[in-house]
Structure 1
């Protein structure tokens, strides 16, 4: 048993959702099956009915997530409109979340911030790398669309994803599940609530404890046919996760909650297959290399390929959080108030070895090792006094990381490589406030909200890189690497010895004698928000919202030249205008929400070739706008039948995009990873009174239109439109005595065996694709006690 399993007794994987869109709770019990229950969320840092929150929010319930049996958050995009979660090229531990036309950069280095924030119990998950961990025993997922710059801060211009874990109940009970499936899948999940120790208000108070564990092993779906391959298949998984929650309640007014999560994943990389030749092709600049790839080009999904280098794709994540709350009633001037402190520390280590050329020849591969730490502290004052509700807060954040990234390009078995080592030390502080006024003059139908946040970032990046061939040819050439140089461009060494002997690397060069280069920057931004909502009926609201957000500026830490590395980029900014409505009708048989938005996008960051810097560099390129629609709902036309539906439309266009060369690409470049249309349709039906339980059948179909793989509108990297059908058939709530119930389920994913790719990139030399999983089937059995 692994270290995580030894520490933690139980767990459940963060799963993809069954058709429960816009429903944070699971299906109502049979006696309530004709209506839809209220959904409570904390999207605005306080508990509110979803229908009363004046912004576009979707929720997915925890029990439904567990039943779906999917092990990572990539499934969210199949159930929520206008959100897409892609895998990084060559691996699955760095989810790339796109929302409302805002897509992350294909460069997933730790130096790049993302446009959509992720949070677990109020703690920011600052980097996408390592964020695809199993979250055990989840209560719900909240998806907030549009900028969240006031309450959530930087890097939420597209929206935010909140993961809310289930808290201990203090009552003994739990759930255990075993599952098997295609590709030798074996999974287990266990969550356990321990009996309460002590009593609230007596002695030292009461302690509630919950422990959880999940494990998942699986072979890959695609073969690696190379005779010396370390793994026989691509995408093999060996992932385990655990979580411990301890809640101390000394009095009714004080609550202290500690959470610890631990995830480890040891996998083989995803299959990267060549789909089209480029410069390595007939008539190309490197046509002499074409014989190495001509038999490894696949325009449709292959069963496997031969890779000489693809070895591993591992990550390890640990997190600690301590949340303390104090509640006081009728405080003069403040009214009923909650004071909250959220303290957290997280660390992540990842290592990957990926072969980019899709062949059995040593053409292109790299190693990437990351070591990341973050600390965060937030203080909140949340309260209500008469017609006014308020939230005020202070936030502090610090992160440090180091990266080791050697790359082998056309060395043909030699032990020579380009190398990049980089590190950073970044801090951020913020203060924010938001107030909502509900005057009595309109029978408390009108609510007006005003908020704002001031944020200050400071970043320091250090880089040492060498390009092997360029350095040997001329160490003083700008393209030979990033390191300290004299006025003539020659390397400055620590020892003062010959610069040529300073190249690092085993076998051909010795320990580095070069001196890294450091770049710093600081930025401040203010992000206000205003919204107004009107209650047409108890269960029907309309609202209008104007919100702002920004994505942090930074340094070009993966730059290939000194000039590029020392050229910072500024924050990008977004202002969104949104109107929407939410309601329940027909005795709560129909739940419907809709939103229309327009976003003004300025100083957007993009990596382009800059002639003066002789390399690709992130710059602030210009202006753009996005507009779109979101529609989702749930309907119960008859008893025991639930139909869920959602539709998203996004149109994103550049208003001004001039390359550093002077070329105007406003009308030729496109927004990548953004389908114009996407929809989902789910059906869930229950037959009670079968074999001492009930039969539950569910189907969910999600579809998205074609989308560009990169900004240059390259047809080779375009993804075709595709749809995925998932299903599940369960015999649930089987009474097995002593208050215990059992469930047996058959499930299937991609039932139509759709051929699609989850990521791809045109490397100029050739285009590679990472194919999605084919059809898979499985069986699960669980006991609840």
Structure 2
């Protein structure tokens, strides 16, 4: 993949440099702020059709290509710094699997391929249904749309928190593109080349390549694999065929190969049950705060490698006028794969305490068909959706119980088949002078999931046979699935067939769920640039199987779908002089069968159980103001009150008042600005963003070791932009800084009981970049 990426980069760079030298006719991309930058109409596709942002009865944040470039957004992980009311963390042990939380809704547990996420991620309408490997580099982004609140009707299951749409630029058929090079601290070298080729008949082609190499942030004294190393290569080919004026076929292929090590993972505390014989060895590596650059010494050669590929075919046919109105028929067919190989050292010490391999393989096929119609007073969307995916996981772990020569293995897999049909009808009555929109929607979803697990636990339990419960999975020397029917004798040691006497039985199951989700919303426009809306929406996150379970009972206790009912009101305002904009929303959401992840420290896994009920109430605000030409100030923030109202554990213990909603800070805000000053035919553009989040819990239990303190980060950039090189070529030179305050905060962590570990976020980094547009 690396050689192929270099070849693509060389070909694209050669084509671009030749074109610049010859000064061929091109249409340059421009990221200059429009005259009405604050109040300009922004067109989004949040409801599967193009609409003005102000007409959408959803809390939506839209970031243009210019805003993304200015903020340095390349992957989903980067978006948190410029989007309010959203959190994007990393999974413990790797930096390529984002944990996305919106309106307090975060994944119930780890990023297991068997579990669904509460926030949907879409690339040009194709669902990226698993977060594992989802932080791939997206070449040629046109804009990002963040939809907050449940999107159950048009987007389906697993969007109860919201959805993120990544929308790429279509081929134009006119020659143009850009070359971007950036170099920063820690030997961070990024490059991106994008070329729009001249049309060949009715075929348009766009090619893109990106690379991202980075040295480690923290030196690992035990190995040469420093923490924070990265080597990322991505490529994209986009072909648009338009044989007639009313039909188009667009095929896109993307591939992203990511290799590296996670950001630094270090022990933050050791528990009372930690072996006394090891305390002296481990204590120098316990860091309640962020460790220094040379203080961590991980025993194993940690690494995290991912490869993600995607194929998407989108057919669009403007049928034209009919008895059902003006019709458009659309089909989106996609296949995506993900392969990951990682080795993690959980303790960050030269003592071999907690080490494991996690190998994932995933494949999905999706097909969606949409019929969009519009008439004098009505607009409607009808659709059908089908998906089928499968996964397998190989997860051996060493020395977890600290007893020496310890080992366990989880070998699991499964899949999901989902079928859905949906519709939405919007009425714009003429008697209201088209100031009123009333919409109703309905979606039916049917899910079927399957899973298997083989769990082997050997001498880790030999020192304490009573810890081995009846029904613990294992696999014998021939690979046959086995499970215990009783307790082993005291002092039993594992033999070729596993721990003691076992009964041979296969361990797998499948379960099905179905759900109907209605929606109702209303929009009233006081004037074209000022609207109020109200929304009633429902959604659900699919049920599932605890495929990482350690006992038959847990494996054979599937968790039910999480159901949501949400009420929301809001207003969207743009001043007549288009210098001020304001989006304000308030919501109240009730969750039934809330899926809560209960961590099992001795097995480093999380089991999902259903809490009776949880309620989320919040207020969100986004606004911008342009006090004078050239300056734009953006603000955003939110308040969230999230709590369980009914939560009883299977044991009968009522934890309603003690258990916490994780990754749900009560307050968050963002303030930023852009100032642009003309300098001859060029311009100086300075921008900065300050993002802050209040204290939050990292886990469901009220654990002080899993309490993330309030923190804020500052990013800034200054550029000399639109430097004319030729009639059709411009350049930009910029300096940038991220986390300029060098805030020490951790973005993921786990308390294993005997010890707690934290994965720390990136420290301050600065650099410069050059961009050429042609």
Q: Same fold (TM over 0.5)?
A: yes
Question: In structure 2, what is the equivalent of residue 589 of structure 1?
Answer: 579
Question: In structure 1, what is the equivalent of residue 105 of structure 2?
Answer: 102
User: C-alpha deviations, 1:758-785, integer Å up to 9, x for none?
Assistant: 1112111111111111111001011111
Question: In structure 2, what is the equivalent of residue 706 of structure 1?
Answer: 695
Q: Distance in 2 between matches of 1:780 and 1:270?
A: 24
Picking from 214, 217, 237, the partner of 1:218 is: 214
Question: In structure 2, what is the equivalent of residue 36 of structure 1?
Answer: 39
RMSD: 2.6
Is residue 250 from structure 1 mapped to residue 243 from structure 2 by the alignment? yes
Q: Distance in 2 between matches of 1:220 and 1:107?
A: 25
User: C-alpha deviations, 1:107-143, integer Å up to 9, x for none?
Assistant: 2111111110100000000100010000001000000
Change (3 A) 1:759 1:128: same
Which piece of structure 1 moves more, 658-667 or 719-728? 658-667
Question: In structure 1, what is the equivalent of residue 18 of structure 2?
Answer: none
Q: CA deviation at 1:27?
A: 5.8
SS at match of 1:422: strand
Q: Distance in 2 between matches of 1:737 and 1:45?
A: 40
Q: Distance in 2 between matches of 1:407 and 1:182?
A: 35
Q: CA deviation at 1:715?
A: 1.1
Picking from 239, 262, 266, the partner of 2:255 is: 262
Picking from 150, 153, 173, the partner of 2:153 is: 150
User: C-alpha deviations, 1:424-467, integer Å up to 9, x for none?
Assistant: 02100000000000111111111110001000000110111111
Is residue 358 from structure 1 mapped to residue 361 from structure 2 by the alignment? no
Q: Distance in 1 between matches of 2:622 and 2:339?
A: 38
Is residue 289 from structure 1 mapped to residue 278 from structure 2 by the alignment? yes
After superposition, residues 153-164 of structure 1 pair within 5 angstroms as 153-164=156-167
Picking from 715, 723, 743, the partner of 2:704 is: 715
Q: Distance in 1 between matches of 2:268 and 2:30?
A: 43
Structure 1 unaligned blocks of 5 or more: 12-24, 199-205, 492-497
Change (3 A) 1:364 1:609: closer
Q: Distance in 1 between matches of 2:136 and 2:334?
A: 17
Is residue 439 from structure 1 mapped to residue 440 from structure 2 by the alignment? no
Which piece of structure 1 moves more, 256-265 or 601-610? 601-610
Change (3 A) 1:476 1:287: closer
Question: In structure 1, what is the equivalent of residue 16 of structure 2?
Answer: none
Picking from 519, 525, 530, the partner of 1:540 is: 530
Q: CA deviation at 1:516?
A: 4.7
Q: CA deviation at 1:93?
A: 1.1
Is residue 188 from structure 1 mapped to residue 170 from structure 2 by the alignment? no
Question: In structure 1, what is the equivalent of residue 174 of structure 2?
Answer: 171
Is residue 329 from structure 1 mapped to residue 320 from structure 2 by the alignment? yes
Question: In structure 2, what is the equivalent of residue 87 of structure 1?
Answer: 90
Picking from 628, 631, 656, the partner of 1:638 is: 628
Q: CA deviation at 1:523?
A: 0.2
User: C-alpha deviations, 1:682-730, integer Å up to 9, x for none?
Assistant: 111111024x411001111111111111111111111111111110010
Which piece of structure 1 moves more, 711-720 or 448-457? 711-720
Question: In structure 2, what is the equivalent of residue 429 of structure 1?
Answer: 419
Q: CA deviation at 1:476?
A: 8.7
Q: Distance in 1 between matches of 2:743 and 2:361?
A: 37
Change (3 A) 1:338 1:614: closer
Which piece of structure 1 moves more, 617-626 or 114-123? 617-626
Q: CA deviation at 1:268?
A: 1.4
Q: Distance in 2 between matches of 1:615 and 1:69?
A: 34
8 Å Cα contact 1:35/1:589 also seen in 2: yes
Picking from 396, 412, 415, the partner of 1:406 is: 396
Question: In structure 2, what is the equivalent of residue 22 of structure 1?
Answer: none
Change (3 A) 1:141 1:564: same
Q: Distance in 1 between matches of 2:277 and 2:39?
A: 65
Question: In structure 1, what is the equivalent of residue 289 of structure 2?
Answer: 300
Q: Distance in 2 between matches of 1:717 and 1:236?
A: 26
Picking from 205, 212, 215, the partner of 1:209 is: 205
Question: In structure 1, what is the equivalent of residue 760 of structure 2?
Answer: 771
User: C-alpha deviations, 1:148-203, integer Å up to 9, x for none?
Assistant: 000000000000000001001100011001111000111110100000111xxxxx
8 Å Cα contact 2:407/2:460 also seen in 1: no
Q: Distance in 2 between matches of 1:269 and 1:414?
A: 26
User: C-alpha deviations, 1:554-581, integer Å up to 9, x for none?
Assistant: 1110001122111111100111100001
Is residue 622 from structure 1 mapped to residue 612 from structure 2 by the alignment? yes
Question: In structure 2, what is the equivalent of residue 115 of structure 1?
Answer: 118
Question: In structure 1, what is the equivalent of residue 23 of structure 2?
Answer: none
Q: Distance in 2 between matches of 1:141 and 1:123?
A: 14
Change (3 A) 1:10 1:104: farther
Q: Distance in 1 between matches of 2:36 and 2:441?
A: 39
With normalisation by structure 1, the TM-score equals 0.91
Q: CA deviation at 1:2?
A: 2.8
8 Å Cα contact 2:183/2:769 also seen in 1: yes
Change (3 A) 1:377 1:608: same
SS at match of 2:532: strand
Question: In structure 2, what is the equivalent of residue 271 of structure 1?
Answer: 264
8 Å Cα contact 2:153/2:422 also seen in 1: yes
8 Å Cα contact 1:464/1:515 also seen in 2: no
Q: Distance in 2 between matches of 1:168 and 1:405?
A: 42
Q: Distance in 2 between matches of 1:490 and 1:322?
A: 55
After superposition, residues 569-718 of structure 1 pair within 5 angstroms as 569-608=559-598, 617-690=607-680, 692-718=681-707
Structure 2 unaligned blocks of 5 or more: 14-28, 476-480
Q: Distance in 2 between matches of 1:540 and 1:476?
A: 64
Q: Distance in 2 between matches of 1:734 and 1:438?
A: 47
8 Å Cα contact 1:269/1:310 also seen in 2: no
User: C-alpha deviations, 1:35-75, integer Å up to 9, x for none?
Assistant: 63210000000000001001100011123212333442223
Q: CA deviation at 1:103?
A: 1.1
Question: In structure 2, what is the equivalent of residue 18 of structure 1?
Answer: none
Q: Distance in 1 between matches of 2:531 and 2:713?
A: 33
Question: In structure 2, what is the equivalent of residue 729 of structure 1?
Answer: 718
User: C-alpha deviations, 1:465-515, integer Å up to 9, x for none?
Assistant: 111126766999526425755894699xxxxxx9942349xxxx9xx9976
Change (3 A) 1:784 1:377: same
Is residue 137 from structure 1 mapped to residue 140 from structure 2 by the alignment? yes
Change (3 A) 1:109 1:589: same
Q: Distance in 2 between matches of 1:34 and 1:234?
A: 41
Q: Distance in 1 between matches of 2:231 and 2:600?
A: 42
8 Å Cα contact 2:114/2:415 also seen in 1: no
Q: CA deviation at 1:106?
A: 3.7
8 Å Cα contact 2:739/2:764 also seen in 1: yes
8 Å Cα contact 1:82/1:650 also seen in 2: no
Q: Distance in 2 between matches of 1:675 and 1:286?
A: 35
